[in-house]
């Protein structure tokens, strides 16, 4: 079995990037860590050892999540749990042995930099990213 180390990041979808950045940075004290190239639509905010990713709904990345957040549309794209060091093979074997569908690992950026991660679904259909420490 693998061991959780903490929350790496959450991803919030938005149509109000400026207001969200102001709220999280100027009011709550986050700092902008990284902004992707124009059009991709990702701004990553530092929160201690974790990140809050803001994804603009009508951006290249944002359209993958569907419509804008409303009372009936999701705002949370996914959250990422950070794992203590373990091999990708062990993680996949463990999840499959518990009936959890898995895809291949990809290299993604998170609170601890780039590293291997994969997406799974919880019983309610929420997307959970599992990111291994390198």
Model pLDDT for residues 48-91, shown as the tens digit of each residue? 899 999 999 988 888 888 778 777 777 788 999 988 888 999 99
pLDDT of 45 > 90? The answer is: yes
Give the CA distances from residue 72 to residues 13, 59, 69, in Å, rounded to whole numbers and listed in that order.
14, 20, 8
What's the structural domain count of the chain? 1
Instruction: Please indicate, yes or no, whether the overall pTM of this predicted structure exceeds 0.85.
Output: no
pLDDT at 27: 87
**71 or 27: which carries more pLDDT confidence?**
27
pLDDT at 118: 93
In the chain, DSSP assigns E strands to: 4-14, 31-35, 42-47, 50-56, 76-83, 106-110, 113-121, 127-132
How large a percentage of the chain has pLDDT more than 70? Answer: 98
pLDDT of 23 > 80? The answer is: yes
pLDDT at 56: 92
Return the CATH number at 92: 3.10.180.10
**8 or 68: which carries more pLDDT confidence?**
8
pLDDT at 117: 94
Long-range pairs for 45-52 at CB < 8 Å and ≥24 separation?
Answer: 45/21, 46/111, 49/6, 49/111, 49/112, 50/6, 50/7, 50/8, 50/9, 50/10, 50/111, 51/8, 51/9, 51/10, 51/110, 51/111, 52/9, 52/10, 52/12, 52/24
Q: Which of 44, 60, 65 lies closest to 109, judged by CA? A: 44
pLDDT at 67: 79
Q: Which domain holds residue 30?
A: 4-132
């Amino acid at each position: 079995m693998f061991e959780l180390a903490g929350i790496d990041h959450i991803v919030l979808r938005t149509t109000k990037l400026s207001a969200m950045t102001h709220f999280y940075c100027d009011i709550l004290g986050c700092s902008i860590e990284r902004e992707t190239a124009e059009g991709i639509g990702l701004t990553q905010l530092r929160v201690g050892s974790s990140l809050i990713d803001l994804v603009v709904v009508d951006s290249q990345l944002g359209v993958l999540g569907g419509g804008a957040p409303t009372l009936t549309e999701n705002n949370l794209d996914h959250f990422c749990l950070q794992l203590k060091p373990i091999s990708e093979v062990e993680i996949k074997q463990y999840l499959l042995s518990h009936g959890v569908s898995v895809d291949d690992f990809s290299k993604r950026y998170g609170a601890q930099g780039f590293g291997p991660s994969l997406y799974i679904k919880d019983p309610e259909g929420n997307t959970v990213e599992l990111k291994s420490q390198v």
